[in-house]
Structure 1
Amino acid sequence: MERFVPIRPLGHGAFGGVYLAYHVDLDIVAVKLIKKNRYHKQEREWNSAIQLTSKQDSCPFILQYKEYDYNRKCDVIITEYANFKTLDIITKQPDIPLPTYTLRALMKQILEGTRIIHASGLVHRDIKCDNILLHSPPGTGRVYVKIADFGLAKSEDQNSERFYIAGTLPYWV
């Protein structure tokens, strides 16, 4: 796993930090460093998420996991790099008008990604703007969503508590 060189921090969350990095085999990637003591009960779900997203025919609307290493004090998960920010750049800047067809396209991508996650037997449990990344493949002029952060995901067979609150606390405006 020493085949990557950190470039700069991208962000941090409840489980650890994310860094932009250069990987000798994969080029530019995102590297998530996860504190083991923060998620020890989640390892099964991380494994399920990694298996789901590392398949070649994986859904293009789910952030693809490339490599992982659980043999450290701080676990390392390497994913593809989504080169735009999160969906928040759209929701927190209402002065930037977006055509309805663009919003529909983004919503369809989010729903398709969620459908694939559920079809694989996982429940994400933390879908929010911060966990929807935006990516524009160089030279395409298109923007795609990438559902990310499976830190609170559960297998459907473990999700028996139907009214359990997980993820970001609800809020009302």
Structure 2
Amino acid sequence: MTDQTALESTGCKVLKQIGKGAFGTVFLVVESNFGIAAAKVMDLQHFNECEWEAAGKVSKQANICQYVINYKGAQIIQDHAIILMEYANLPPLQKIFDCKLTPLLREDFIKSIMWQLLNGISVIHQAGLIHRDLKADNIMFHNIYGSDQVIVKITDFGLAREVGTIGTGMTQCGTPLGMAPEILMGSNQFEVGKSQLQEQKGQNNKLDIWSLGVLFFQLLTKRYPFEANNIMQLIKTCQQIDLQNALIY
């Protein structure tokens, strides 16, 4: 059974394929209960239960925040897993950074994007989670139907973990150039006992705040604050913490 056949067996009308990766295919579909939606189809062995649990917790709060992708349901069809989610109808933020011909972004645009991202990550943290992979590829743009308003939506909870899960904050995760220094340098300051969970909660949440800072820098300059060819070089660069840039200062 192909990915599309598995999806169609649930009653979804497949409009087109909109993405494909190592672990699955994403389709634009019409679903009887939700209308237009995105459906991620993967082999059952690649189904990320942590992603689904994290998305479920966030979706309970996402109804009050439009800046986080809302997950709608999951279903197992033979050897396939299907995750149905809200469809963001515009490309990701990374497309703007990749376009070298466009000028630097306007200040009011940057302010709007950051305000939305801060609201979105606040909802994720209120759900007791850390995203751990905030990057431009996971920030989708969306045009609200029937209006000219474009907003951002935080997506992809494949690396998200619950705050208070011992050790998960320090695994190698996310995109290296957007990683917090604590992860890059192998710090054990997040490896704490249960009596210190409150302290850990604040520190772990800061992993996402660092990534937001990297995104802010990218919005201002269209490049990363730290450039490196490998992890060791990146660690040395982070240790120097030299962010002098004529576009900012």
* The two structures share one fold, judged by TM-score above 0.5: yes
Q: Which residue of 2 aligns with 1:92?
A: 98
What SS does the corresponding residue of 2:41 show, helix, strand or coil?
Answer: strand
Describe how 1:4-83 pairs up with structure 2 within 5 A.
4-39=12-47, 42-54=48-60, 57-70=63-76, 72-83=78-89
Q: Which residue of 1 aligns with 2:136?
A: 129
Higher relative contact order, structure no. (Cα contacts within 8 Å, ≥ 6 residues apart)? 1
CA RMSD of aligned residues (A): 2.2
Alpha carbons of 1:57 and 1:162: their partners in 2 closer, same or farther (altered >3 Å)? closer
What SS does the corresponding residue of 1:170 show, helix, strand or coil?
Answer: helix
> Hey, what's the Cα distance between the residues in 2 that align with 1:104 and 1:56?
22
Q: Larger Cα Rg: Structure 1 or Structure 2? A: 2
- The structure in which a higher percent of residues are strand is 1
Q: Structure 1 residue 109: deviation in Å?
A: 0.9
Q: Which residue of 105, 108, 112 maps to 1:105?
A: 112
What SS does the corresponding residue of 2:88 show, helix, strand or coil?
Answer: coil
> Hey, what's the Cα distance between the residues in 1 that align with 2:101 and 2:131?
31
Which runs of 5 or more residues in structure 2 are unaligned?
A: 1-8, 179-226, 229-249
Conservation of the 8 A alpha-carbon contact between 1:52 and 1:58:
no
TM-score where L is the length of structure 1: 0.86
> Hey, what's the Cα distance between the residues in 2 that align with 1:78 and 1:68?
6
- Residue identity opposite 2:17 in structure 1: P
> Hey, what's the Cα distance between the residues in 1 that align with 2:146 and 2:102?
23
Q: Percent identity?
A: 32
Which runs of 5 or more residues in structure 1 are unaligned?
A: none
Name whichever of 8-17 and 116-125 sits farther off.
Answer: 8-17
- The structure in which a higher percent of residues are helix is 2
Question: Structure 1 segments of 4 or more deviating over 6 A?
Answer: none
TM-score where L is the length of structure 2: 0.62
